[in-house]
Amino acid sequence: MLAQWPKEMFDQLPHFVWDHISLALEHGNGERTITEVKKDILAGTKQVWLHNIGDKFDFTIVTQIMEHPSKKVCEVVYSGGSGMIKAMEELRVIEDWAKMNGCTDIHAVGRKYLSRTLGNYGYSQRYITVGKKL
């Protein structure tokens, strides 16, 4: 199951979430530190989504909504953990949440594996991202 973790319960986020996000940050170009991501989550500008199978959490996704002059876009900015395939099968949860928040597009920023993995769910490579219209 893929579900959003409430920002009001920030202090109760499991420790592995930070391991997942830190790993994702290691593959970036130094744009953010884990401290900055924590501040954004606590402020509500980024959202945390956890995937679990039974009582085992196996994947973390971090999103943000970007407001452009002509549209709102949900961005999947960080993801990590061992359960990517199962979590991606449930990505519709984030897509529906994005639509409810006025987004007309969603995209994921990351390494090349995203276009191969998310291609099965209607996403296509855009510049250096994958995405689709909602």
Helix (H, G, I), strand (E, B) or coil at 4: strand
Q: Residue 75: give its domain's CATH number.
A: 3.40.630.30
CA distances from 127 to 16, 44, 108 (A): 31, 28, 11
What is the span of the domain harbouring residue 10? 2-133
* Paired residues of 124 in beta bridges: 131
Q: Digits of tens for pLDDT over the chain (134 positions)?
A: 999 999 899 899 988 899 999 988 887 778 889 999 999 999 999 999 999 888 888 999 999 999 999 999 999 999 888 888 788 888 999 999 999 999 999 998 776 666 677 778 887 765 467 779 99
- Per the structure, the count of domains in the chain is 1
